[in-house]
Amino acid sequence: MTRGGPRRVSRGFPLALLLLLGGCALPPFLREPVPPGRVTLTGTEVFVPARLAGNLLWVEASWGGAGPFRFLVDTGSSVTLVTPALAKRFPGRVLPAGPHPRLRVRGAEGGAIDLPRASLRRLELGGATFEEVEVLLYDCAPLSAHLGLPVDGVLGFPLFRDLLLTLDYPGSRLILRPRTLSAVIPGQPVPADAARRTPLITVGLGERSLLVLVDSGSAAGFSLNPAGLSPRYVVSPREGALLGTLAGERPQRVARLAEPLRLGGQVIPEPVVDLTDELSALGGGLLRQFVVTFDPGRDRVFFHRPGVEAPARMEVRSSGLSFTRTPAYWRVAAVIPGSPAAAAGIVPGELVVRINGDPVRNWDLARFEQLLEGAEAFTLTFLEGTTEVEARIAPFNLLP
């Protein structure tokens, strides 16, 4: 059966996720230096293949005859998170109880949760071996459901404190090198401050300077706190997708700025911004255009764009819907006002069971994003009682 009239639209899976301490005020015990672990490399350069899903980089690794394990790389997180199952498989030393044996944080649903602290005996990424890694234990099931694949942990920025860390988005890989290596790093260095265990840099916004977090664990492009800035817009703020945040779900507000964004020698014209009341940040939606190298020992970050092309104008390809996922169906969580989906009368709570005739259990985030970027239209099948109803969808650009 096919519904008449304008047809339905869907935006993928917006993610401002619960990568717990990135950009947030840290309790005093987490501002202290991390006890030294050990990291060894098999050579002067270790290349770790990576994949991009939802503007997030994730890597796979196997060691000890087990795996593969999947990890997100999150420079905006001041801690490394692993699932209890992974920590049980590779237990480390027993951490002293101390005054803070657990850390209380807020999850994506807004409720407070306690995360136990632990130590991982060993963690390997290709030819890099990390030993005695301090972690927080977290069930990554919500993140796994979002990406459509099992996730075993989140690698925070302090894990790489003794290395040169390169996130090569265009090349789909991580590059790990000794921090002492006297290598020529492509790009212009931007001074960084990692005193709070995450990298903060100063960027240019028009004629002004702005402190931002370099946050590979955010799916957004440029998250901007406009307080005191009075930014000028080419496209005024409008409601976007529904985001899960540390304080609970909130509607995303997006806009296009009239002023360029400057990262060292790189210029982003008319950048798209996700307006926030948190710390401004550069997320994967923008970082994916660059090879980004972090040099913690010298407090600097490099942004390099392979080739001679200027950074591309940022676009937001959308289908108008936000989803929550299960293997059996995707539930419509929100509808973007003014979108074709809203014009079609779609309401939260409707269930999608097929995409182009294929059950949703066969669709992970990366596959759906490829469809959204490349297709002029696609078909969603909705379940209404016991009846399946098809709708032809045409993706659209959220911001002109």
pLDDT (tens digit per residue) in 4-53: 433 322 333 344 344 443 333 333 333 344 455 689 999 999 999 999 88
What's the 3-state SS for the chain? CECCCCCCCCCCCCCCCCCCCCCCCCCHHHHCCCCCCEEEECCCCEEEEEEEECCEEEEEEEECCEEEEEEEEECCCCCCEECHHHHHHCECCCCCCCCCCEEEEECCCCCEEEEEEEEEEEEEECCEEEEEEEEEECCCHHHHHHHCCCCCEEEEHHHHCCEEEEEECCCCEEEEEECCCCCCCCCEEEEEECCCCCCEEEEEECCEEEEEEECCCCCCCEEECCCCCCCCEEEEEEEEEEEEECCEEEEEEEEEECCCEEECCEEECCCEEEECCCCCEECHHHHCCCEEEEEHHHCEEEEECCCCCCCCCCCCEECCEEEEECCCCEEEEEECCCCHHHHCCCCCCCEEEEECCEEHHHCCHHHHHHHHHHCCCEEEEEEECCEEEEEEECCEECCC
Residue 204 has pLDDT above 90, yes or no: yes
- Predicted local confidence at residue 398, as pLDDT: 85
Query: Where does the pLDDT of residue 182 fall: very low under 50, low under 70, confident under 90, or very high at 90 and above?
Result: confident
For the chain, the domains span 317-397
- Does pTM top 0.75 for this prediction? yes
pLDDT (tens digit per residue) in 215-240: 999 888 999 999 999 999 999 999 88
**Summary mean pLDDT of the chain:** 82
- Predicted local confidence at residue 12, as pLDDT: 38
Query: Where does the pLDDT of residue 274 fall: very low under 50, low under 70, confident under 90, or very high at 90 and above?
Result: very high
pLDDT (tens digit per residue) in 104-157: 554 444 455 678 888 888 899 999 999 999 899 988 887 787 777 889 999 999
- Predicted local confidence at residue 141, as pLDDT: 84
- Predicted local confidence at residue 107, as pLDDT: 46
- Predicted local confidence at residue 377, as pLDDT: 83
Q: Tell me if 87 sits within 8 A of 137, measured CB to CB.
A: yes
pLDDT (tens digit per residue) in 46-101: 999 999 887 889 999 999 889 899 999 999 988 899 999 999 888 876 554 444 45
- Predicted local confidence at residue 271, as pLDDT: 95
Residue 195 has pLDDT above 80, yes or no: no
Percent of the chain with pLDDT over 70: 83
Task: Give the residue with greater pLDDT, 24 vs 324.
Answer: 324
Q: Summarize the confidence of residues 335-344 as an average pLDDT.
A: 78
Report whether CATH 2.30.42.10 matches the domain 317-397. yes
- Predicted local confidence at residue 22, as pLDDT: 38
Percent of the chain with pLDDT over 90: 43
Residue 371 has pLDDT above 90, yes or no: no
Report the half-sphere exposure of 25 (CA within 13 A, side-chain side).
1
